[in-house]
A = this chain, B = another copy of it.
Amino acid sequence: MLIVMKPDATEADIRRVLDAIQTLGLKGHPMPGAQRTAIGITGNQGAVDPSPFADLPGVAECVRVSKPYKLVTRDLRPDKTVIRFRDTGAEIGGREFAVIAGVCAVESREQTRSTAQAVAEAGCRFFRGGAFKPRTSPYAFQGLAEEGLKILAEVREEFGLKIVTEATDEPALDLVEKYADVIQIGARNMQNFSLLRRAGRARKPVLLKRGMASTVEEFLLAAEYIMAEGNYDVILCERGVRTFANHTRFTLDLSLVPEVRRISHLPVIVDPSHSTGTREKVIPLARAGAAVGADGLLVDVHPYPERALCDGPQALLFDMFREMMGEVRAIAEIVRR
């Protein structure tokens, strides 16, 4: 159920509704908006009886929710969620087109620093770099772990970039939460429900990648797992789905972006690097991601991709990256007009 408060409801009114929800052993999720606050209820088995809430001061209406998701929907929060990093003014989901660029895997201080410098000079505010790498083979390079996170933290200090990095399990998430600014959950973990719940208890925003065979409903329900624990700062990321098409590693499904917009208030970005797997397709699909209306991109860059320990063929060279930045910004400007 969803309790919509009146535009003039006070903090005390909202507090009283949350108390009434708690009294029933349920959990209330207040979502303030420009016009009014709505309160989602989770923890119920079956339908919630609206009668304890209907007459409370400040309550406009009680809406039964028939969809499988609640907290992700525009019904609960008509305004878009904007993830804000107040110290630097960076944001995801706001007016600025948010490009998160960096290395697939942190391999060394030097490789990470030189990439971060190029990323910062191109005007990006977010840096990505993997310290924990989920690899298909147990014998492949699995990342530098905490040592990698420390390098990322240094790079943040030096270049003022916000750090986005993946947590592959709960111990990794503990460390990522400590060192990074945004916790990434990878496609292979999109339905690792314990990890989603742990991310929901973290105090940092979560970047959730779509599973490679995930429907929109499953994707939104994965975000719902995070939000149901109280973390409402979730960024969705389209990174390609598995199909018969064999000219790219995954088929980038850009129609997800308008579909998410229709249903949800959450920001959504596009990863043109992991989906295509080859450098020459990254720039065209990055432009397409901006054009389709995404809030940003997640892009691999590397100073010398031929020596990369992971996914080298898809990493942009620095000058290609600068070219891409110019194009996607111009396109994002047209879309936002």
Contacts and interface: CB of A to CB of B under 8 A. Distances in A.
A331 B243 contact: no
A280 interface: yes
B259 A255 contact: no
B287 A224 contact: no
Interface size class of A (residues with CB under 8 A): 35 or more
Contacts of A241: 213, 243-245, 251
A242 interface: yes
A292 interface: yes
A259 B243 contact: no
Contacts of A280: 258, 262
Interface in A281-298: 281, 284-285, 287-293
Interface in A154-208: 168-170, 188-189, 191-195, 197
Interface stretch (A15-23, A85-93, A131-139): A131-139
A54 interface: no
A127 interface: no
Nearest to A200: B138
30 contacts: A68-B136, A134-B193, A136-B191, A136-B218, A137-B221, A168-B193, A169-B192, A169-B194, A169-B195, A170-B170, A213-B244, A215-B245, A216-B245, A241-B243, A243-B243, A243-B251, A244-B244, A247-B255, A251-B251, A254-B254, A254-B284, A254-B285, A255-B285, A258-B280, A258-B285, A284-B291, A287-B335, A288-B292, A290-B291, A291-B291
